[in-house]
Amino acid sequence: MAHFRTVWLLVTAAACGAAVMAVELLGARFLGAAYGGSLTVWAAIISVTLLSLAAGYFAGGYLSDRFPRPALLYGVLLAAGVMVAVCPYLRFALKACYEAFGIMGGALASAALVFSAPLVLFGMVSPFVIRLLCTGGEGVGIRAGGVYAVSTLGSVVGTLATGLWLIPSFGTSECLRGAAAATALVGAVGLALEFGVRGAATALLPAAIVALPGPAGRVGDRYAAPDGEAVEVLATRDSAYGHIAVLGKGSYKLLVVDGIVQTGFPTSRGGPARGQGLAANYFQELLPYTVPDPNGRSALVIGLAGGMTPAILSLYGIRVECVDLDPAIIETARDLFGFDGPAVADDGRKYLESCGRRYDFCVIDTYSGDVFPFHLATVEAFRAAKGVLLPGGVLAVNYIGAPGGRAFACVHATIASVFRHVLAIGGEEGGDVQTITVFASDREIEFNRGWMDVVGTGGVDPVSATIERLRIKPSRSDAFVLTDDYNPVDFLRGDEALRWRARTIRNIGGGAVF
């Protein structure tokens, strides 16, 4: 029995290491639903994890010297399990912290408020285990090294299992509850070893954690957006790449990933109509007007979201193939947005480099969040995009940023280094962060004004006037070409990404985000 107690101490160290990494990854996902998956969130959760563990190491070392009893160690583990189980029910804290401190401060405050307590308790475990294993003065070093090695191996298992399997399979809340129950079970077994039947009764605690009802479901929730329109949460799910929510707002259905709107899909008349995108400055609808007759042409769309771009291009008789990194996005587009075209779950850059087919149009629409896929915004990526275009083909890039920002100037310069002709059109007046559509081709980009039959009234051409008014001509002297080797675009547009997230929260309200 004494040997088994020693083994269980090592199991405890491994389980604690796994739990720490699980909570850290799940914490980033928990915060990401409101604050995104940017460096802001990762900096917040990593900082809180390290500070909490540091406090736990000190407290664990102190208590283990004063009270070197296994029962206390396992009691700490039980308490940590309970605190992790509580975390999914603290979502209300995210909104309170955001309102008090904004995005950056709110992410840090939320991480501390929700996750610091259990992480402190986890930090107490390793020094406690070392103290219990080191009953004499010899062999302290090898025992301490062994405990940290076992704990680190547990961390590796926890990281891989949580990131690659648990989150995509069960979602953030269920994974937190599972981590809580597993942690409490390890503590309960330890107490059973110490106290027999009396200690075994604590096994009721992990069973109770498993039986806990999940947090109140958000599907079906209704709230009022700041503009007064009613918003309803139609569906939510977690995927390997983010938290997905589908909202109904007025005459639109919105796809929201980690708090950022990816698609606004009109629900009136069953979907978009010709000219509807142009009227709303959705300038990807200009692509069909770059050729005399778009019917029978082909397009490759990188970044499906809710399928708005494929739906619009299909109205013009264009055959569309789509690629999206996240299989869950493709499923959501099919199930809730009516998308029924061909789509492949793959990395956009990899697909561009390996597809072997050519198209009249290529659309890169992957820049709409605050996590920028920089490998799709380099000179090598745009060369790959050019490689899938037929002679005279047109590339359209959907970019989110400030028209006068250095990040956009660099992206524009990078595209211009690959294509002879580049045309950029903003989504609105002014220089604040906005949607920017960039067209690029080796032939001059001209529009045939076929929209006159669709959106024109009385011979007036509102689209041409809008294009000219919103045209962007970057002229920054500090712009440079982005490459796979050097691409700091995340850093360059960091403040713009925060402003775009704040704008999204203002537009759809906090009900779907927090």
187 and 332 fall within a common domain:
no
User: What's the whole-number mean pLDDT along residues 229-251?
Assistant: 88
pLDDT of residue 511: 61
CATH code of 405's domain: 3.40.50.150
Residue 512 has a pLDDT of 60
Domain endpoint, select from 162, 196, 211: 211
Do the domain assignments include residue 398? yes
Asked whether residue 191 is assigned to any structural domain, the reply reads: yes
**Mean pLDDT over the full length of the chain:** 91
Residues 206 and 303 in one domain: no
| Residue where a domain stops, chosen among 174, 195, 211 | 211
Each as own residue / partner, the long-range contacts of residues 431-435 (CB below 8 Å, 24 or more positions apart, any chain) are 431/402, 431/403, 431/404, 432/402, 432/499, 433/400, 433/401, 433/402, 433/405, 433/496, 433/499, 433/500, 433/503, 434/400, 434/401, 434/402, 434/403, 435/281, 435/398, 435/399, 435/400
Assess contact for 301 and 323: CB atoms under 8 A.
yes
**64 and 147, same domain (yes or no):** yes
203 and 282 share one domain: no
Among candidate residues 158, 191, 211, the one where a domain is terminated? 211
As a whole number of angstroms, the distance between CA 169 and CA 175 comes to: 9
Same domain, 8 and 143: yes
Residue 57's domain comprises 2-211
**Is residue 281 located within the same domain as residue 180?**
no
Regarding whether 134 and 57 lie in a shared domain, the answer is: yes
What element of type H or E holds 346? none
Q: Is the dihedral of CA 52, 58, 62, 68 positive or negative?
A: positive
Query: d(Cα 481, Cα 377) in Å, to the nearest integer?
Result: 10
Q: Which of 4-13, 138-147, 181-190 has the lowest mean pLDDT?
A: 138-147
Q: What is the largest CA-CA distance in the chain?
A: 95
Could you tell me if residue 96 is inside a domain? yes
Answer yes or no: do 33 and 120 share one domain.
yes
Residue 235 lies in a domain: no
Q: Are 403 and 426 in contact (CB under 8 A)?
A: yes
Q: How much of the chain exceeds pLDDT 70, in percent? A: 97
pLDDT per residue as tens digits for the range 104-114: 899 999 999 99
How are beta strands 471-472 and 222-224 bridged, if at all? unpaired
Residue 457 pLDDT more than 60? no
Which is higher by pLDDT, 496 or 417?
A: 417
> Does any domain span residue 218?
no
Query: By percentage, how much of the chain surpasses pLDDT 90?
Result: 66
Q: How confident is the model at residue 456 (pLDDT cuts 50, 70, 90)?
A: low
Q: Distance between CA atoms of 320 and 194, rounded to whole angstroms?
A: 66
Judge if 305 and 201 occupy the same domain: no
Q: Are residues 191 and 321 located together in one domain of the fold?
A: no
Q: Dig out the tokens for 414 from the structure.
A: 């990078």
Q: Which residues pair with 434 in a beta bridge?
A: 401
CB 455 within 8 A of CB 463: yes
CA distance 125 to 183: 12
Q: Are residues 435 and 341 in the same domain?
A: yes
The one-letter amino acid code at 309 reads: T
Per-residue pLDDT tens for 119-167?
999 999 999 999 999 876 677 888 899 999 999 999 999 999 998 889 8
266 inside domain: no
Residue 89 lies in a domain: yes
- Distance CA(230)–CA(388), nearest Å, equals 43
CATH code where residue 165 lies = 1.20.1250.20
Strand partners, 423: 439
Query: How many folded domains does the chain comprise?
Result: 2
The H or E element containing residue 345 is strand 343-345
Same domain? 195 vs 117: yes
DSSP-based three-state secondary structure for 277: helix
Residue 46 lies in a domain: yes
